[in-house]
Amino acid sequence: VLPAPNIHGRPDVYELENAAADPERRIELAMAGVADWEGEVLVDVGAGTGFHLERFHERAAHVIAVEPHAPTRLRALERVARLGLERVSVLAAGAEDLGLRDRSVGVTHSRFAYFFGPGCEPGLAELARVVRAGGTAFVVDNELRSGTFASWLRRSEWCRWAEPDRVEAFWAASGFTSRTVETEWRFDRREDMEAVVRLEFPAALAEAILAEHPGTRVEYHVRVRHRRY
Ligand SMILES: C[S@@+](CC[C@H](N)C(=O)[O-])C[C@H]1O[C@@H](n2cnc3c(N)ncnc32)[C@H](O)[C@@H]1O
């Protein structure tokens, strides 16, 4: 299990972050324009507490949430039960070994999970094994070069490792096409935004960001990558 201090440590605050993210659902729109999941088996790899399952469940034939961190996975199970999502399965597995049959999946989605660039080759090999011919894998991650959120990331000690050119070259060499989706965080309450900024950034930087950024909206660009098999 790769450490994910945000969702593992404060799933309640991470829920606020997900709820504020991409209010117009531009990410799903961009995905659906490439490959629709209507009637497909869709796997959400690194599904966390399952925030995105309900949206995929609306049109997919079946949704499989894969989440290796037990307490987080239990929250996904609780969500599935609470929302009555009858065509969702939750698996204790990870990206390197999905525990699914060869060529059994039409679409995969992975958001801010495992597929961060160099180092995720075992997961890419596993996607190539489980996705059927003509199926599509999607990876959603931060755009590191544009948007207000990226400018904050570049100031963070925690993101020293992020080298945008190397990451982009890796994905291109891995057969993925990437596009930038310009979206935003839109919070209902300032205090929710403050909690999320404090979750995602070291303390001193979080306070500096909050002092200079008023309001409840933050420009946030993501990279939506896909590969067809
Ligand atoms: C930042 S969270 C994102 C969760 C979810 N995709 C979302 O957007 O709400 C990253 C997730 O990846 C999971 N993860 C860690 N190691 C993993 C692995 N080897 N394979 C798949 N997922 C992994 C973590 O447990 C965590 O739930």
pLDDT digits (tens, 9 = 90+) for 118-139: 999 999 999 999 999 999 999 9
State residue 157's pLDDT score: 79
Task: Look up residue 217 and give its amino acid.
Answer: R
Quick check: CB of 13 below 6 Å from ligand 1? no
Q: What tokens does 54 get?
A: 């309900």
Closest atom, ligand 1, to C-alpha of 14: 9
50 lines ligand 1 (CB under 6 A): no
In this predicted structure, what is the pLDDT of residue 113?
98
Angular region, 44: left φ>0, alpha ψ -120 to 50, beta rest: beta
Provide the β-strand partners of residue 183: 220
Q: Is the CB of 74 under 6 A from ligand 1?
A: no
Main-chain phi, psi angles of 215, to 5 degrees: 85, -165
**CB 127 less than 6 A from any atom of ligand 1:** no
Question: Cα separations (Å) of 216 from 149, 192, 194, 195?
Answer: 13, 9, 9, 12
CA of 109 to the centre of ligand 1 (A): 11
Low-confidence ranges of the chain (pLDDT < 50): none
pLDDT for the residue 163 = 86
Residue nearest to atom 10 of ligand 1 (CA): 113
Nearest protein CA to atom 18 of ligand 1, as residue: 94
Ligand 1 pocket check for 106: Cβ under 6 Å: no
Best mutation site among 109, 114, 185, 222 for ligand 1, i.e. most ligand atoms within 8 A of its Cβ? Answer: 114
Q: What is the pLDDT of residue 54?
A: 98
Q: Give the pLDDT confidence score for residue 26 in this predicted structure.
A: 98
